[in-house]
Amino acid sequence: MDHAPYRVAQELELLLGDPEDPDEVFSHARCLELDEKEEFPAEICRVLEDWGLPEYYIPAEHGGRLTDYETVLQVMRVVARRDLTVAVGHGKTYLGGVCVWVSGTAEQARALAADIRAAVPVSLALTERAHGSDLIAGDVLGEPDGTAGWLLSGEKWLINNATRGSLLSVLTRTSSDGGPRGFTVLLVDKRRLSAGDDYHCIDKIRTHGIRGADISGIVFDGAPVGADAAVGAVGGGLETVLKALQLTRTMCASLSLGAADHALRIAWDFTERRELYGRRLVELPQARHVLAGAATDVLIGEALATVAARSVHTVTDELSVSAAVTKYLIPTGTEAVIAQLTRLLGARAFLKDVHARGMFQKIDRDHRIVGLFDGNTLVNLNSLVNQFRSLVRGWRRGTGDTAGANAAFDLSRPLPPLDPKRLSLVARRGSGIMASLPDSVALLRAEAAGRPELKEALASAVRLVSVVERVHEAMDEYRAVVSDVPPEAFDVARRYSLCLAGAACLGLWVHNQQTGGQGPAGGLWRDGVWLRAALERLLERLGEPTAEEPEAYPRLLEELRRAGSSGALFSLFALRLHPGDAASVTSPAPLGAHSPTAPHAPHPSLPPPGRTTGPLRAPGTGQSSELRELATSTAAPAASPGTHPPGLKGNDPQTGRTATDTGSHQTPGHQRGRHAE
């Protein structure tokens, strides 16, 4: 399928050159070097700016190229696939400006767009050292200055680009009593302040991953801020932030998708090359099972992210649900993918300068932060718990916006412009994506009537509906929960997220299966291959009995190998990787290669894609210890979303524990605005 957002991503992919060529600016070698030095990737960011990436942070109505969030998702996925530090460090500007796009005046939007276009970094300053994700407890205070402005005092901590950035959207307590209406977003311009007198920046904080990013802080000391700095109504800051985060949480999927793409490609290359006991690793049953499971999880994430990004436009008033599910499920799902692939790579998952230059260990370290900022796991699950009442009522009455959901599923339908006024803190009518599930099953049933190869997918879809019914019954037990949410409610929210992902996968397939079966990625769509694997995988994660080896896995693995050997991204849609990247992972077995898709024609105001030729270098394969357990042991259960591999700190929705120093470790309360930067 030729899908427009992937054409734009294709342009950037080819422009950036061969990531295996150390002479390229945005190469794996350069990213590893900057990581070792804990140095900000300034030169790489300039390449992205020359291409025009900042334009995709600016909505079209303000003169930018942000016409749809699906395109932004895929463009940022290209960047994250090469290096998460760059994606986080540069993409933060969108996060910093989104409050203005949601609630700002036309004058604020015009000025901010000009700054972003000029590559001025923008930050979002929410969290504080003492309060972390408990935004309503924030102490940074804006006191009236007598001229309708404020004198700003206090510290914001763990802020991305706090030092490098010139503009900061600062969540400020503008009423001494605080409360839901006691905060205002102030767009603070450091260029108008006196460094050292009005403010000073906190030194860069050393981190385990994204080492080169500017994770720092800022302290204000009576900094004068004019009345024109207020974004939205005075006292409406929390509402503005929570609505803005629905957009950024959805876009965070690009970071996890890029990391999963890269990790899967490294692991696939290793299993194809590595020989054990006279056979390649990929020929061992256990290795194949692990690889197929990880590949399925990647496609589930891509399908959910695609529907969620499109629903920004088509089901805007229900984004509080899809954004929370996306921000919870895709980062935790990618953590699980990385954990699964670590079992294949063994020691190489942790070593530097061995296989794939040691990029896998960097992906692992860098990605751990994605599940923490823009609302961590507990924050997003708690957001769903707070909406149980309306979600259950909507499911039983069928009142979700199914028309909007179908528009999100159907990729042939153009997306309407986003109307930020439609953003809502609660999906009052329920979820249209979930409500569409029975109709999607009916469409699949009709299709399967003449296609026996779809019977397995239909059986899984019917089972999913039964699970969804039980999950809503369990949700009903916690419909009155406001605070002190019990661990069991978080687990129900986890199960709801998996069910919604299943509805998204099914809706996407039934609305696009005919066109999806065409082109380089067609093998995944034909006969419902990816859908069969995805539904079976989701049922497994929901605790339902499933086959030890889903029937779709062999076909899925063949498509994984086909993509690798033909230089394509393993994806539901066609995207050709840079030829040098493809050459580093050639399959030793003969495969029917697809014809590469033609790159998208460059935007007329952009420089033509460059640096698409040059020496093709394969990453070193080095040596490895024998992975004896892969050949002799039975499979350990795959990590499910919401769980973390041993030694990986994170948020456990069943225990309510967090292991991050970004803020409060208490269970988030009802609409308390709890958030982790």
Instruction: For residue range 135-158, list pLDDT tens digits in order.
Output: 999 999 999 999 999 999 999 999
Please choose, from the candidates 327, 203, 343, 323, the residue with its C-alpha nearest in 3D space to the C-alpha of residue 267. Answer: 343
Tens-digit pLDDT profile for residues 287-346: 999 999 999 999 999 999 999 999 999 999 999 999 999 999 999 999 999 999 999 999
What per-residue confidence (pLDDT) applies to 580? Answer: 62
**What pLDDT score was predicted for residue 572?**
97
Instruction: Spell out, as residue ranges, where the chain has pLDDT lower than 50.
Output: 582-677
Report residue 243 as tokens. Answer: 């609505």
Which phi and psi angles does 183 have, rounded to 5°?
-130, 150
CB 376 within 8 A of CB 135: no
DSSP state for residue 570 in the 8-state scheme: S
pLDDT of residue 519: 84
Look at residues 628, 32, 557 and name the one whose alpha carbon lies nearest to residue 346: 628
Task: With beta carbons less than 8 A apart as the criterion, state whether 329 and 381 touch.
Answer: no
509 close to 531: Cβ distance less than 8 angstroms:
yes
Residue 408 in 3-state DSSP? helix
**What residues contact 105, with CB distance under 8 A and at least 6 apart?**
none
**Residue environment code for 354-389, b if the CB has 16+ CB neighbours within 10 A, otherwise e:** bbbbbbbbbbbbbbbbbbbbbbbbbbbbbbbbbbbb
What region, left, alpha or beta, does residue 676 occupy, with left being phi > 0 and alpha being psi -120 to 50 degrees? beta
pLDDT averaged over every residue in the chain: 87
Residue carrying the six token digits 């959207």: 169
Short-list 54, 50, 48, CA closest to 85: 48
pTM of the model: 0.86
The string of DSSP letters for 79-120 reads: HHHH-HHHHHHHHHHHHHHHHHHHH--HHHHHHHHHHHHTT-
How far apart (Å, rounded) are the C-alpha atoms in residues 408 and 412?
A: 10
Q: How far apart are the first and last CA of the chain?
A: 37
DSSP 3-state of 285: helix
- Distance separating alpha carbons of residues 184 and 138, to the nearest angstrom: 11
- Whether the CB-CB separation of 303 and 572 falls below 8 Å is answered with yes
Given the DSSP bridges, would you call strands 657-658 and 279-280 parallel, antiparallel or unpaired? unpaired
